[in-house]
Amino acid sequence: MAATDFKDYYAILGVSKTASVDEIKKAFRKLARKYHPDMNPGNAQAEAKFKEVSEAYEVLGDTDKRKKYDQFGQYWRQADGAGGAGWPPGGGNVDFGGFDFSQFSSFDDFINALLGRVGGPGAGRARPGGSSYNYRNPRSTSTSGFGGFEDFASGFGGDRTSTGGTSADRESNITLTFSEAFQGTQKRLNLGTEAIDVRIPAGAKPGTRIRVRGKGLVNSYNQQRGDLYLKVEIQPHSFFQFEGDNLVCEVPVAPDEAVLGATIEIPTPDGTVKMNVPAGIRSGQTLRLRGKGWKTAKGDRTDLLVKIAIAPPKDLNSTEKDLYEKIRNARHYNPRSHLQSVRL
């Protein structure tokens, strides 16, 4: 087996072999933000790079896995330097440094076993093109079985899964109200014969994946449990909707408010605020209320986008009708004057 099959995870993350855990984490976060699929939509090369740096961090970010990886890399190079005739060096069931490498016929097999992927030795050979890595966020924040989430682009919802390969991880949908997602909540889930309490952090959005460690399926190879990933769905709200990271709503204004301007009250997720509507605003224009949108991982807020809809009255009393007729008779403004020059 050629040494080119060995992946240098230190080189992939751009750190030295003596790098500290914090240095490795810092390098990973920088690269993950750079290559995250949400930041590079449709870019297959960036997606492959994101998968690669995620795998590297999943190994180097864990003390035990890093130790075995360092041992494996050492002996793999020795095998190749001795002629590359086979693996393990010297043949037979050889144990190096307290870890039996003889069971692995390729680097992919070793990584499959190290990361607890179903299949163990030989799993890499079963899939054309090498191993298929499930690149959910390998360090999503989660403690004591409670869920957390992390997105390298915006703070939330970045976890994805590859289409190939088999994993002991499992996924399930969890439906929240707007209030539960905005404020955060705790949910009790029934996993067959097991019931668990999961904390949903404030600011979850549709598509956010929440990792619950050790609540997945049992890996038949190493008998360790995978993780449970909860994909957040949010019930539709009668007023608020998502537009990217921001919230958007539509607010009606009366014709006189649109013409003369007004100060109106606008609902936000945490209470009503006053907003100035400038004179002469048109229907469809959007006003921005900064810091009144959705919560983020950093604890701040996105914006609330208020779309204006001019709402003419359907039922006029006699006084209103008389006044509107006077306005019409006195009006010198023609909103369709620009149409007079339209020709085919």
What is the CATH classification number for the domain harbouring 209?
2.60.260.20
CATH number, position 72: 1.10.287.110
269 assigned to some structural domain: yes
pLDDT for 76: 55
Same domain, 17 and 105: yes
Which sign, positive or negative, has the C-alpha torsion 133, 135, 141, 142? negative
Spell out, as residue ranges, where the chain has pLDDT lower than 70.
1-5, 74-105, 116-167, 220-221
Residue 86 lies in a domain: no
Exposed / middle / buried, residue 40 (Cβ in 10 Å: 0-12, 13-18, 19+)? middle
Q: Give the range of the structural domain holding residue 283, as residue numbers without chain letter.
A: 240-328
Q: How far is CA 33 from CA 39, 113, 137, 154, 269, in A?
A: 8, 27, 12, 9, 29
Residue 254 and residue 222 in one domain: no
Residues 229 and 244 in one domain: no
**pLDDT on residue 87:** 45
Residue type, 323: L
The total number of structural domains that make up the chain: 3
Give the model's pLDDT for residue 127.
32
Q: What pLDDT is recorded for position 150?
A: 39
Based on the domain organization, do 228 and 251 belong to the same domain? no
User: Is residue 341 assigned to a domain?
Assistant: no
Looking at the structure, do residues 220 and 273 belong to the same domain, yes or no? no
pLDDT at 191: 81
pLDDT for 78: 52
Residues 260 and 274 in one domain: yes
Residue 2 lies in a domain: no
Whether 47 is in a domain gets the answer: yes
Residue-level pLDDT at 116: 63
Residue 29 placed within a domain: yes
pLDDT at position 325: 95
Pair of tokens at residue 80: 């190749």
User: How far is residue 302 from each of residues 10, 121, 274, 295, measured CA to CA in Å?
Assistant: 36, 47, 18, 7
Q: 191 and 213, same structural domain?
A: yes
Residue 32 lies in a domain: yes
| Per-residue model confidence (pLDDT) at position 124 | 36
Q: Assess whether 249 and 229 both reside in one domain.
A: no
Q: Three-class SS of residue 152? A: coil
User: How far apart are the C-alpha atoms of 75 and 87, rounded to whole Å?
Assistant: 10
Q: Is residue 129 part of a domain?
A: no
Residue 229 sits in the same domain as residue 261: no
Do 27 and 53 share a domain, yes or no? yes
The answer on 111 and 13 residing in a single domain is yes
Angstrom CA distances, 40 to 33, 34, 225, stand at: 10, 8, 32
Same-domain status, 313 and 218: no
